Structure 1
Amino acid sequence: MIRLHHIPFSRSFRILWLLEEMGLEADLKHYSITDGSLRASEFKAISPVGRVPALEIDGKTIFESGAIVEYLAETRPDHGLGRLAGDAERVPYLEWLGFAETQASILASLNMQHLFMGDPTPAAPVVLKLEAARLGATLKAMDRTLGERDWLLESGFSAADTMMGFNLFSAPYYVAMDRFANLAAYRARIEARPAYQRAREKDGKQEFYKKDFYAVPEG
């Protein structure tokens, strides 16, 4: 049995999508960010800091999306979604896995400040402006790369692309995307993938965003 501990529209979508690309069926155990279930001792026995994703597979329980992606790609190499040691693209593959987490950490900061901080401790506009600029810089770097190829690696689609499943669908809430034509085309290619479509159908309704765009407040 494979079980994915999951919150819709979160980093755990990366794993849901990768499992679909591999044709692996998982039992989804859904959580909410608002009902306290992530803080329960039962869940912290699975994921020590109370975060999704966590994946039960092969008699193991693995947390952290980057670690799960590497494990799945390396233990199931026949799918060709990883770049193993000795592969010419091993270094850029690992770089993109790390890049995705750098970008996700900025998104997490923006989520926290826009969505979960309010009176009496609202986020400072200058901090929000800086974080949005940092996110924009990472998107600009991606856009430049994707002007030269369809996927993050020259050889084609890989698990590194699935690491962007959460990022590219959260970034537009904080950064105007109309200046990133290559990223728009990349997102369209992602959305056209049958495995992505199946994963999105299983994902569930997102509970994070109440507005279409979160501008930096005046102040």
Structure 2
Amino acid sequence: MSASLIVASYNIHKAVGADGRCVPERILDVLDEIGADVALLQEADTRFGLRTAVLPRAMLAARGWIPAALGEQPAAMGWHGNAVLVRGVARLARASRIALPALEPRGAVMADVEGDFVPGGGLVRLVGAHLDLSGLWRARQARRIIERVARAPGAPPELVMGDFNEWRPGGAAVAALAGRWRELRLAPSFPARLPVGRLDRVFAHHALPIADAGVHVSALARGASDHLPVWVRLGG
């Protein structure tokens, strides 16, 4: 291993902050504070109609970000709001959508990133998800993610991150994911102003070299969205 990779997961709340204003620059400033190489975003598009991306592509390009082609509609960046951004040392090999069973529109995304972040180099498979508010549907969605990852070509180590909407420590969805991957115990991330809920979680393959992980707390992050971002550093 000769490099490190910082992966952030962030429910950006359509870039609407605590002041009620939509300010995309704040979201990108928070990602810069983290030093993220990859960003798995939730609520990156408007929810209804044309599902327009809330982070302008010109603004992303100016910060060095390249979005994965996941949008089902031309104006969207993500799949049901789930988007993947890469920059710097992160090289996107492929990305795909995961359709989830749901009463309300929900989805997850999967992306393979190339680099020297795991022993021997190769790929890291990233999964970003935003699960349902209903516990019954969350459990079904977690099982679907596990099934889709198991059927995906190749077998790179996986890192699963996102807003799992689970307040309980023993919820069925979290238990299902923890049965396949180890959960990294992080501090609460929601609501951003005074976090009490561990809604944003991280699950990692046992072979992944996790150097560090945490919840990013700053004055900017507390005001940019209703969630704080979580992050993982792989490699050295």
* TM-score, scaled to structure 1: 0.37
Higher relative contact order (CA closer than 8 Å, sequence separation 6+): 1
The structure with the greater share of residues assigned to strand is: 2
* TM-score, scaled to structure 2: 0.35
